[in-house]
Amino acid sequence: MRLNKGFAAVALNLLAILGGCGGALAQADCKTLVKASPFGPSDETGATNRITPAVTKAAAAEIQSGQVISMAYNLVDGVPLFGTRFTKTVLTSFALVPGAEYGKNKLSYMEDTYLSQSHVGTHIDGMGHIGIQDCYYNQTSMGKYVTQNYLKKLGLENIKSFATRGVIIDLVKVFQQAGKLKTNPACQTPCLDGGTVITEADIQAGLKMYNVTLREGDAVFLHTGWGDLFKQFPAKNADYNKAEPGLSKSAAEWLASQNVVVVGADTWAVEVIPSENTDEAFPVHAILLTNNGIHIIENVRTDLIAADAANSNRATFFLSMTVPKAVGATGTFVNIEAIR
Amino acid sequence: MPHFKETPAALDRRRLLLGGVWALITATTSGAGAQGRRFRIAFANQNEDPSIRLDGLGFTGMDVRRSFELAARTMPVEMTYYDNAGEGEKALANADDAIDRKIDLFIGYNVDADANAEIGRRLRAAGIRALAVNYPIPGAPLYTADNLSAGGIAGHALGDFARQNWSGQSVVAVIVGDLGDIRPSMTDRIQGIVEGLQRDLPDITLTRLDTSGNPVRIEGLLGKFLRAQTGRKVLIAALDDATALAAKTAIQVAGRLGDCIIVSHGVDHSVHGGAADKKELDPNNRGSILQGSVAFFLDRYGYEVLPIALRMLAGEHVPLRIATKHILITGQNVFQVYPPFDMN
């Protein structure tokens, strides 16, 4: 047995040496670090492959009253951001000065310039956002595809439709009903405190509360109440950013096993911060994005849809959200609406 | 490869080990029919006054307390927390309260040896298991910092730097910090530094500059010392991070940045930050004269100590002394050991 192990070790070392030319070795590493896409080796789309015409048609049945509920925050200077991140709009006024109008009809006009990073406000994380070492979604060795301006693989232009069913999971109610809600004093309405771990049992309790069974292609949104601090910007930006309630790793794995396409939350990272293991960095991001191609949407406004779900006892809706086909981008701010 | 520079592979091995321990705990607790059982554990913290630093380092009792709160989130435990307030009497009263509550296990972090002896006796009489942190409770396993080893890592890091970069030049060494603190933990740390330095530089001239517990005092002391060391290279071992940062200021003021290198102890929040919250130990600041700091992980004690407690509660044998695995944190590995979370 010992001899066999020794032989195997020597053989592996030889293979490693023989395969030591850069590209081949990197590819082999990605195959051990990241899962392959179930949609094939050339897949750059990820979970939105699951939104088939049948999924969209079934989701359309969620539109019953036509009521539209916003699930995005206003994009405005002063919202919580980290460090050097910024979002700044510059208004360019053309021909507004008296006498500078165009034509006999005195037409004037204005435009804006967005000086903004993409991961600000209510925003979606694309497949190019998170990797393990240089290995990204579908075992893509990204080092080969990075240019100064954009990614040559896994950009947002590869995403398909988000015309699917949305499901709101009200964790505030789950924790209240379980008698374990520990709110944060900075929240003006009940919220899960920063560092609160949301388990798969909590998710399942939230689904059971409204008698929902997840189905393939669903977009799942978590209402933790933490977004209350976002709404208090800029006064509570530091509180908002320093921690958050969020998914445990096992809860993320469970959601992935349900073949959902999106996990969003009223928090800045969707996952629990500080992490379950404080020497790990954003493990849920890697589980959802890198290994399963599931988009993460952060800073989602969930309070309105959660309140409507509580009033109507219905937690599902038709998701209205489109993503600009920004070639080679890793993420972008989005507008989201729940249509009931 | 000097042993103090932990490689990513070594870090992975550490994580694997921790994961393995946790898997073992999970397996043993469930295997022993304890599935679903939540153990009642009390943690009596040394001192939670935010102005008090623990064990000659930059950590506060709240750092330690928070680590227990975070670690407990995903463990089958119900925690009760006490603040010993640095007083033996308070520690005894806290232990009595924990005994009255019929807890399953008591974790004590208390500097008073006499009080610890009495706490150990009372817990034994009540049939409650005990686990000590940094200061022994008779009969209880001890989780402790290994100051001799930590000092050795710092001393060796300095000596190795001098050997590699200042070969053939005149080099002196200086230990800075609260040298009047005669607790064994501090004398061990100093002894470790000396031994570590002498491993690489057996004939090094060593000076000690005592701040008497006030890190700012080092600015004057070191400034004067540097003026007397014209043309020499200076290795500086700081007993804590605050003193290291003050020493760096003194070196800047003296215009001797090219002649000095500092290694510190602790890795508290004053020297490591995040992606946006830049501090001295940062991947983008690898040229700093603060070459590194030896990690004591007081802000992760909960993650280290609670698994030991659960092993004891599962009936496993636990060694009588379990030491912190100190490593040197530099700009190269700081984000691997302390990943920043200020991005999304």
A-chain residues near B18 (CB < 8 A): 277
B-chain residues near A29 (CB < 8 A): none
User: Per-residue confidence of chain B (344 residues) as pLDDT tens digits?
Assistant: 233 334 444 444 444 444 444 444 444 444 344 457 899 999 999 999 999 999 999 999 999 999 999 999 999 999 999 999 999 999 999 999 999 999 999 999 999 999 999 999 999 999 999 999 999 999 999 999 999 999 999 999 999 999 999 999 999 999 999 999 988 999 999 999 999 999 999 999 999 999 999 999 999 999 999 999 999 999 999 999 999 999 999 999 999 999 999 999 999 999 999 888 889 999 999 999 999 999 999 999 999 999 999 999 999 999 999 999 999 999 999 999 999 988 75
Domains delineated in chain A: 2-31 (no CATH), 36-81+120-339 (3.50.30.50), 86-118 (no CATH)
Shortest CB distance from A268 goes to which of B277, B335, B344? B344
Name A292's Cβ contacts closer than 8 Å, sequence gap at least 6: A35, A46, A47, A256
| Predicted confidence (pLDDT) at residue A130 exceeds the cutoff of 80 | yes
> Average of pLDDT values for A74-87?
84
pLDDT band (50, 70, 90) for residue A85: confident
CB B104 within 8 A of CB B39: yes
Contact A281 B339 (CB under 8 A): yes
Homologous superfamily (CATH) for B147-295: Response regulator (3.40.50.2300)
Contact B341 A281 (CB under 8 A): yes
Strands of A61-202 (E only): list them: 68-70, 87-94, 109-116, 123-125, 135-136, 140-141, 165-170, 197-198
Kind and range of the H or E run holding B322: strand B321-323
B189 CB within 8 Å of a chain A CB: no
Strand B39-45 and strand A219-223: the pairing is unpaired
Confidence (pLDDT) at B344: 58
- Chain A residues within 8 A (CB-CB) of chain B? 82-85, 119, 195-197, 241, 248, 268-269, 273-282, 298
B12 CB within 8 Å of a chain A CB: no
| Predicted confidence (pLDDT) at residue A17 exceeds the cutoff of 80 | no
Confidence (pLDDT) at A5: 40
Q: pTM of the prediction? A: 0.86
Map out the domains of chain B as residue ranges.
38-145+298-313, 147-295
Confidence (pLDDT) at A93: 72
Confidence (pLDDT) at B35: 54
Instruction: Nearest chain B residue to A123 by CA: give it.
Output: B344
| Predicted confidence (pLDDT) at residue A208 exceeds the cutoff of 60 | yes
Strands of A95-138 (E only): list them: 109-116, 123-125, 135-136
| Predicted confidence (pLDDT) at residue A11 exceeds the cutoff of 60 | no
> Average of pLDDT values for A278-299?
97
A-chain residues near B26 (CB < 8 A): none
Confidence (pLDDT) at A128: 97
Contact A82 B344 (CB under 8 A): yes
**Tokens of residue A288, six digits:** 């959802």
A-chain residues near B70 (CB < 8 A): 195, 274, 278
What class has domain B38-145+298-313? alpha beta
Helices (H), A258-323: 283-285, 292, 303-312
pLDDT band (50, 70, 90) for residue A87: confident
Contact A279 B338 (CB under 8 A): yes
Query: Tokens 């489109």, residue?
Result: A322
Q: Do domains B38-145+298-313 and B147-295 have the same CATH topology?
A: yes
Confidence (pLDDT) at B8: 43
A-chain residues near B344 (CB < 8 A): 82, 119, 268-269, 282, 298
| Predicted confidence (pLDDT) at residue A19 exceeds the cutoff of 90 | no
Strands of A216-273 (E only): list them: 219-223, 246-247, 262-265
Distance from CA of B67 to the nearest CA of A (A): 9
* A-B contacts (CB, under 8 Å): 52
Confidence (pLDDT) at A77: 84
Name B134's Cβ contacts closer than 8 Å, sequence gap at least 6: B46, B55, B109, B111, B142, B143, B144, B145, B185
pLDDT band (50, 70, 90) for residue A82: confident
B73 CB within 8 Å of a chain A CB: yes
Distance from CA of A142 to the nearest CA of B (A): 19
Strand partners, A141: A135
Q: What percent of chain A has pLDDT over 90?
A: 79
> Average of pLDDT values for A87-91?
82
